[in-house]
Amino acid sequence: MQKILVIAYYWPPAGGPGVQRWLKFVKYLPDFGYEPVVYVPENPSYPIVDNNLEKEIPSTIQVLKQPIKEPYGWAGLLSKKKTKTISSGIIQDKNPSLIESILLWVRGNFFIPDARKGWVKPSIHFLAKVIADEGIKTIITTGPPHSLHLIGLGLKREYNVQWIADFRDPWTSIGYHKKLRLMPWAAKKHKSLEKEVLVSADKIIVTSQTTLEEFQAITPKPIKMITNGFDESLSAKELDRQFTISHLGSLLTGRNPLGLWQALKELTAENETFNKALKIKLAGVVSEDVQKSLTDLGLDAYLDSLGYLPHDKVIETMQSSQVLLLIEIDSEETKGIIPGKLFEYLNAKRPILAIGPTDWEAGNMVEEVNAGKFLHHSDVALLKDVLLDWFNQYQKGKLLCSSQGIDTFHRKALTESLAKFI
């Protein structure tokens, strides 16, 4: 089999959605004639850890590791909590503390493109020998962190290899980029590096049509959309007895569906049966503004805060929930964001309530495969109608998800598409 080098930052024991994509690709690539050699940091600073995922690393895969120096250690001396939340992507919109403001300014202006930039030069030096010894002809970098694409850029300049850059998220157009308090010269540097990567890579992979079109305006290089997906073959689970509305994954700052909370408040006041049956489950990191909104509206009594769950427990919770929430920030920059959990939601086969910006790709996808409803958070009346309709079906034991055509999102089918693109 032809060996390919995969350069990643998130790898077990990292938890969260970022690790799933390439953990599953390397599982199936040998089925299509490619032997992955994976390169990851030896001592990374992961905001979320899930040790159970280490069991999913294929025993036949060679994993190479090198130390990384990250600034989050010394930044934690100022505020360990604030450092962890910022590294998780939680950036306060309102009244940030002085420490938060300082950390964001330093992060945005002195660590370009991100806080893992110090790993670039040592990695290029280390991987030179790996490319020669292993006979590597193709390298793949996956970001964020987008500094990993600079490793690919350096290796492409020095060696006769094919370089494929995989963008799990956009670079300068992603929502939180504007919150980094960038100086004009720093913003220009980000744009310059992004363009250099896009025009220098041999091929580019993206996870949404929006990002594909954005990058096509910058580079003539071949671009392929390969979404995230699901892997497990799930056995049936007993449904929750209560009318559980569950969100699995981080609810970061700004991703606060105020209209949904208002709709739930009104339904609990207007419908005694709904009041007694409702349970809101939130698993993962929940930002302070979401927590405050629930408290202010008196929804605390219905809330079950699950905290971080291992991936296997996440899947179980999805399957047993009555309704699954898919939420995105309401802005132009986020309409091309397709959360990885969407595909595991599809696999769980429970009704999905997608709440996001107009023309949100993920929301449209939910309705295209008949997996649920896509609404805007400001449409309180319509949210109430949908929830009440689903609640009535739940009471009759007939709340089902009749999705169609989701097999194309199985990880093996997606890996076959990747192998053909390589």
CATH topology of domain 243-406: Rossmann fold (3.40.50)
pLDDT greater than 80 at residue 61: yes
Task: Give pLDDT, residue 101.
Answer: 67
Task: Give pLDDT, residue 72.
Answer: 54
Mean pLDDT value across residues 376-385: 94
pLDDT greater than 60 at residue 153: yes
Task: Give pLDDT, residue 105.
Answer: 67
Domain 2-226 belongs in CATH node 3.40.50.2000: yes
Task: Give pLDDT, residue 96.
Answer: 59
CATH 3.40.50.2000 boundaries in the chain:
2-226, 243-406
User: What's the CA gap between 402 and 378, in Å, rounded?
Assistant: 27
pLDDT greater than 60 at residue 82: no
Around Cβ 391, how many Cβ atoms within 10 Å?
20
pLDDT band for position 77 (50/70/90)? very low
Task: Give pLDDT, residue 172.
Answer: 86
% the chain with pLDDT above 90: 73
The predicted-structure confidence for 173-198, as pLDDT tens digits, reads as follows: 876 666 677 788 888 999 999 999 99
Mean pLDDT value across residues 156-165: 95
Q: At what angle are helices 80-87 and 98-110 packed, to 10 degrees?
A: 50
In 271-350, where does DSSP find H-type helix?
Answer: 272-277, 288-296, 311-320, 341-348
The pTM assigned to this predicted structure is: 0.88
Query: What 3-state class would DSSP assign to 214?
Result: helix
**Residue 16, amino acid:** G
Retrieve residue 110's tokens: 């002195």
User: What's the CA gap between 113 and 123, in Å, rounded?
Assistant: 16
